[in-house]
Amino acid sequence: MATTRRDAMRTALGVAALAGTGTLAARPAAAAGAKFVYANNSPYDNIDPHTIFDVARAATRFNLYDGLYRWVDNPPKMIPWLAESHSVSDDGKTYTFVLREGASFHDGAKVTADDVVYSVERILALKKGPAALYLDTVKPGSTKALDARTVQFNLAKPSAIFLVTVPDILVVNSALVKKNEKNGDWAAPWMARNEAGSGSYALRRYDPAVGWIAARNKSHFAGWGKHPFEEVEFRTVLETNTRVLGLERGDYQGVDGYLPYDQIQRLREAKNVQIIDQESMRVFLLALNTTKPPLDDVHFRRALAYAFDYEGFIRDIMKGSVSRNPGPNPNNIWGTPPGLKGYTYDLDRARAELKLVKAPLRPITINALAGFSESEQAAALFQNTLRQIGVEAKVDTSPWSVISASMRDARTQADVIPLWKSTYYVDPNNWVGELVGSRYRGSRSMSWYSDPEIDAMLDRALVSNDHAEREKLYEKITQIASDRAVSIFVYNTKWYGPYATSVTGIRFSPVSNGQDLRWAEQKQG
């Protein structure tokens, strides 16, 4: 099928500097002042880019690996990366990408179209991480290498989100991975502990209990600035105060940007710390498991939605630092109906909704993220207000690895989980589509909601090339999700990137949440 240049994108990638971290273990020391240590609040217990897909471990994907395109900056824009251009057929089903010359893996092997094809097939076969984005449209065996630099995706049907999800197809060194395959396992055990990428940094040491260290890939196709970090380290530091104190003392050059507000205020007063304020696209919500009675009853869910003290939480816990987000989509993207109000804190209306619930009431479970104060405080606040309307709630705390595993099955997922819906691609489908679409149950959905009417509208939105039509569809879907209280939507997150004042060149994107350190540099003078 002939392709056109209708959507071709060619961008000169004269890119600035790098990023980094440093020191995990016995290795030749990096040059003085040329290391960057990033302290994170979640473990790096797996580094396979085709099975991990959470923001907590985004550093692995964005620093060790490259995709065809990459999201950068805020508002996020997509730029060519391993690919220099693409074209789309008139029927919207064939995407052809031309790879740039000069890109190579860390072992020196050239990045080829065959590597892209293998990476796609591996993602589809493993059915984890990003796979849910492609299983409907990219069928095994349909992606072809036309020559060493040209790869063609032949979609089963048009996809309005395919291009914006292309950055999530991270390319692995197929020859290296194949050498470590055993019995058709796609080298999954090996890839969980080893690296086969072409990214800005090459893995040097990895410890699942500690983190990982990587050295600058000096031959990376994007080039480097004048003062790059020669070594980067991403270290797991679960205790918030330890991360903050370490940044103040100069032990770390950066920490996660979603710290509690009181800690951000503390860091604003530190002489050697800078705070980079950005509006993210990360929605804080209380995800409701809509399959479990009585949460399968819209009246019970509405009662829960009226029983959360939104204003009190934002005022007292968040210190007024964030904006109310009444629906599933972040405030700064299209697809939300104008004037969407959402729910307010109203215990009388909550009690009225409870009277309409048909199933017997029971104690519900709230599973908060351990070490994430906002999740834990939201759970405690909610428990107290629920008690006032006669609903008992048990609060448990678990690490993200445990919670995410439980969310793969509706039977094991808790009734309520206070957490964030992060940005993986910039389209309303990333938020409301994945929340209520049946196709995402067991993978990307947090609510396990299913409704044929919604699914039909989502199907139309996912194949339409008419932006106005898609916007109207997502506005309608969003209104329904709100009316039916599919989950409880609280606020849109602020990102307060705390970095040492010795660091410059940070390019925050809501997609990478500040962990893409490719452009960071050591400040001089």
Burial 173-205 (b: 16+ CB within 10 A, else e): bbebbeeeeeeeebbbebbeeebbbbbbbbbbb
- Residue-wise pLDDT for 170-190, tens only, equals 999 999 999 999 999 999 999
Give the torsion through C-alpha atoms of 278, 283, 286, 287, to 10 deg.
Answer: -140
Indicate if the pLDDT at residue 7 is higher than 70. Answer: no
Indicate if the pLDDT at residue 500 is higher than 60. Answer: yes
pLDDT band at 42 (very low <50, low <70, confident <90, very high): confident
pLDDT band at 492 (very low <50, low <70, confident <90, very high): very high
* Top mean-pLDDT range of 1-5, 253-257, 318-322, 433-437: 433-437
- Residue-wise pLDDT for 346-361, tens only, equals 999 999 999 999 999 9
- Residue-wise pLDDT for 427-447, tens only, equals 999 999 999 999 999 888 999
The answer to whether 285 touches 488, Cβ cutoff 8 Å, is: yes
- Residue-wise pLDDT for 263-283, tens only, equals 999 999 999 999 999 999 999
Strands 231-236 and 393-398: unpaired
Indicate if the pLDDT at residue 288 is higher than 50. Answer: yes
Single-letter amino acid code for the residue at 209: A
Tokens coding 461? 């939105």
Percent of the chain with pLDDT over 70: 94
**HEC per residue, 379-434:** HHHHHHHHHHCCCCEEEEEECHHHHHHHCCCCCCCCCEEEEEECCCCCCHHHCHHH
Residue 96's pLDDT is 98
What's the mean pLDDT when you consider all of the chain? 92
Single-letter amino acid code for the residue at 57: R
The mean per-residue pLDDT over the stretch 6-15 comes to 33
Rounded to an integer, what distance in angstroms lies between the CA atom of residue 133 and that of residue 293?
A: 29
Q: Structural domains in the chain?
A: 35-227+502-522 (3.90.76.10), 280-494 (3.10.105.10)
Residue 371's pLDDT is 80
Q: How many CB atoms lie within 10 A of CB 169?
A: 24
Q: Nearest-CA neighbor of 20 among 272, 281, 199?
A: 199
Rounded to an integer, what distance in angstroms lies between the CA atom of residue 281 and that of residue 432?
A: 13
- Residue-wise pLDDT for 193-241, tens only, equals 999 999 999 999 999 999 999 999 999 999 999 999 999 999 999 899 9
Rounded to an integer, what distance in angstroms lies between the CA atom of residue 65 and that of residue 198?
A: 5
Residue 17's pLDDT is 28
Between the alpha carbon of residue 164 and those of residues 71, 160, 167, 206, the distances in Å are: 9, 8, 7, 31
Residue 342's pLDDT is 95
Q: Nearest-CA neighbor of 153 among 162, 262, 447?
A: 162
Higher per-residue confidence, 4 vs 20: 4
Tokens coding 198? 């072409």
Question: Per-residue DSSP letters for 257-311?
Answer: S---HHHHHHHHT-TTEEEEEEEEEEEEEEEE-TTSTTTTSHHHHHHHHHTS-HH
Residue 249's pLDDT is 97
Indicate if the pLDDT at residue 332 is higher than 70. Answer: yes
Indicate if the pLDDT at residue 56 is higher than 90. Answer: no
The mean per-residue pLDDT over the stretch 486-495 comes to 95
- Residue-wise pLDDT for 95-149, tens only, equals 999 999 999 999 999 999 999 999 999 999 999 989 999 999 999 999 999 999 9
Residue 27's pLDDT is 35
Q: Coil, strand, or helix at residue 477?
A: helix
The mean per-residue pLDDT over the stretch 456-473 comes to 97
Q: How many CB atoms lie within 10 A of CB 157?
A: 12
